[in-house]
Structure 1
């Protein structure tokens, strides 16, 4: 059962946009990508610089210090979707995903998209400027919170996206589960198996050397850029080289919830059926009570007569066994027979010595084990009416 996967991250500086695009366009070494498949990737813009310029041109002249410049969307599916379908279906899925982004943000704000096919699972990356029209001010404002603000908003986003792509046979994750929404970077890191500790990632990062006559500012900028790029590679390496454990767990959770739902529906049907039985019985009882007294007496007499007839049918002829009197009587409450030997009801309270003594002088009882007698299981000795 494949799942639709949608993750987001907020990009708050032009430097981070450039770094992300550099990774996206493979302008630097990307450890988790297969160089021989790079030609399979596709981009809306011909280069990183062209995509960067398009994003900058859409942004306002001034963005507040903590403002989100851009939302990066990562859209993919669990590995079995790509394994079970061909390239044509993959492309249609990504086309539908892009349509959803345009419906959500407007075509003018979905600046550029890329599809990576050089990694384990194909995925779409989209850069979106989060404009929202402000009715009060009658102008567009950057408002990332409108799209990604709060648990309900994120849950509604996942549900809405799933509805748009469900015709591909993709499932939505468990709705209203305790799972927290993850950013692209968190998702990449958390599904890794085994999960890399931050210390391991830090140890793997190579700090570049200084160059001749390079200023401290330039060197610091180059170090920050290099560290960011390498860390992104390490995090992203997790999504497309790891196991399907998260997806399998998700399938199990969905199956469990569906099972509970079926059980609850069954219980509801049983309760309704019993309720209608009770209601019918009450209707009959009320009708009887509303009859004249003489008629009620006749009905009660008829019921008693029928009860006696049923009891008579449940009588079993006594077994004549030398000096022992063996009887079977009908237990109305348990709807079964019970055994009496010499007027002693046989149950667990009867001592074994009693059974053994009876068996010594009874050829009939001697053919059964003590356990069979205790369980009233005298095969062949009961004459069924």
Structure 2
């Protein structure tokens, strides 16, 4: 009897951003406005990325807000967290076979969780990326806190009434807070049959850049023969235990040397599987294209001939032009409202959510 399939994971990662230049680069990457390397993107993506909350120009208003705080006057503005970047996704197998409606429901639930967890005024921008191998959401959450005195009254004698604090996000630095965050996110994603990651796991996240660098590096080091363990006096009286220790140490040594080969083999096998999958999709499309050319041209074209290839392209262009004239213009959503942080009157978590935060799912 086959073992039951393991439940996919709900994945949430977060990272502090403390420099304006870093923040600008990260927002540009998420909005796809920077000229950084994009070899990891899918050039044949069939859907555009979706803005779920805010817009890519939120930094301008936020910079003015921070400049008006009391922190820069105390020369503390460069030591505080400006924003936290979140990456929210699920195990790749969860997205397989999901409809657009199911995926959008998952994305909306993620944005709702961010707003409920951190407050509407703190969730500045969230984008659903559909141009990479696995759909995922990247969002920026701001550690905004009302600059209040011990009585809870907003300080009117300094700054604009706002300050920056990691504690405002309940992520002040203790590892238990990140564990609680994972618990809460997994609870929010439970209705999508996603589970929490393993608590206390020693596994460490490897960046895409580091993984690609490792995969590109040729592995040409020979496997070294494991060194034998020198027997102790006790080993001379218990040969079997000594043999087991030697075998275990040799196994660990060889496994460590073979691990890079194994990782490259897995990566290459995955790439081959993706190529086969794409070819299986392209084959019927190629046959359909040949039949279409036969209908348009009145004969089966020889696409190896430059003359008939040009004729086929002209026929396709004419068909596309005729279809474009008949097609109705696509609906365009209104631009999301710009962020506007006025003087605080209460805790941001008590404020009503901004209008238009769910515009992508109306």
In the superposition, the TM-score normalised over structure 1's length comes to 0.45
Larger Rg: 1
Considering fraction of residues, name the structure with more helix: 1
